[in-house]
A = this chain, B = another copy of it.
Amino acid sequence: MAINQGVRPGGRSARVQASVHNAVNQLLEERERGELTVPLIAARAGVTPSTIYRRWGDLNELLGDVALQRIRPDSGPTDTGSLAGDLLAWGIQYMEETSSVPGRAAVLDLLAAGGGCSGRCLEIATAQFGAILERAVSRGEPVPSNDRVVDRLMAPLVYRILFSGEPLEVAYVEALVEVTLEGIGG
C-alpha cells in the first residue's frame, strides 16, 4: 500500500486508482464484503486483475487502502468556540460514524490489511487532534498532549465501539472529554 511513491497525481496511475476505488465502493454497496474478489473488482473497474495484484498485492491490501480513504475526514474538525466543545463534537461524530455498519466495516478492512493500518489510522486521528489543540492554543486555552487525547478519548471510544456490543451514549463521550481535560489547569 506504499506503492504510490513516484506516481504523478492525475496521471494514468491516479486514474487507475480512482477507478478501482470506485469499483470497490460500488460493489460494497451491492454485495457482502465476503463476496468481493479481485477479478470481480477488476471487471467493474475496467482493468485487468494483474493490474490490481501488481499495485495492491492482494484483496485485503486493496480493501484496506479503500477503507483508509473512507475514514479520512472530509473537512477539518468543527470549531465550537472551546476545546471541550471541539473534543465533544469530534467524539460524538466519531462515535456515530464508527459504530455505523460501513464505519465498522472500514475499521475491520483496515485491520485485516497486512500492516494493520501501520500507524496511518493513528496519524489521521492525531492530525485532527492537532488542529483542535492548535485552535485551543490560539484561543489561549490550556491544552493536554495529543497522546493524552488519544489515550483518554479516542482509545476508550474505539474499544467500546468495537468490543462492548452496547450502544454508546453522548454522556459517555462527555465523561471521556472531562477525563481528557482533567487537571490541565486553566
Interface set, chain A 110-165, CB cutoff 8 A to B: 110-112, 115-122, 150-152, 154-156, 158-160, 162-165
Secondary structure dominating the interface of A: helix
- The residue among A112, A158, A162 with the most chain B CB atoms within 10 A of its own CB is A162
Q: Are the CB atoms of B154 and A122 closer together than 8 Å?
A: no
CB distance from A98 to the nearest CB of B (A): 12
Rounded to whole angstroms, the CA-CA distance of A77 and B120 in the bound complex is 34
Q: Are the CB atoms of A117 and B155 closer together than 8 Å?
A: no
This protein's copies in its complex: 2
Rounded to whole angstroms, the CA-CA distance of A58 and B111 in the bound complex is 21
Q: Are the CB atoms of B162 and A111 closer together than 8 Å?
A: yes
Binary per-residue interface labels of chain A (15-47) against chain B in the complex, 1 for a CB within 8 Å, 0 otherwise: 000000000000000000010000000000000
| B-chain residues with CB within 8 Å of residue A165 when the two chains form the complex | 115-120, 122
Q: Are the CB atoms of B162 and A116 closer together than 8 Å?
A: yes
| B-chain residues with CB within 8 Å of residue A120 when the two chains form the complex | 165
Question: Counting CB contacts under 8 A, is A74 at the interface?
Answer: no
Count residues on chain A whose CB falls below 8 Å from chain B CBs. Answer: 32
Q: Are the CB atoms of A159 and B155 closer together than 8 Å?
A: yes
Question: Counting CB contacts under 8 A, is A108 at the interface?
Answer: yes
Partner of A116, one of B60, B104, B112: B104
CB distance from A17 to the nearest CB of B (A): 22
Rounded to whole angstroms, the CA-CA distance of A107 and B164 in the bound complex is 13
Interface set, chain A 59-88, CB cutoff 8 A to B: 60
Question: Counting CB contacts under 8 A, is A169 at the interface?
Answer: no
Q: Are the CB atoms of B162 and A176 closer together than 8 Å?
A: no
Rounded to whole angstroms, the CA-CA distance of A152 and B154 in the bound complex is 11
User: Closest 10 interchain pairs by CB?
Assistant: A119-B165, A155-B159, A118-B165, A151-B156, A155-B156, A155-B155, A121-B163, A122-B164, A117-B163, A122-B163
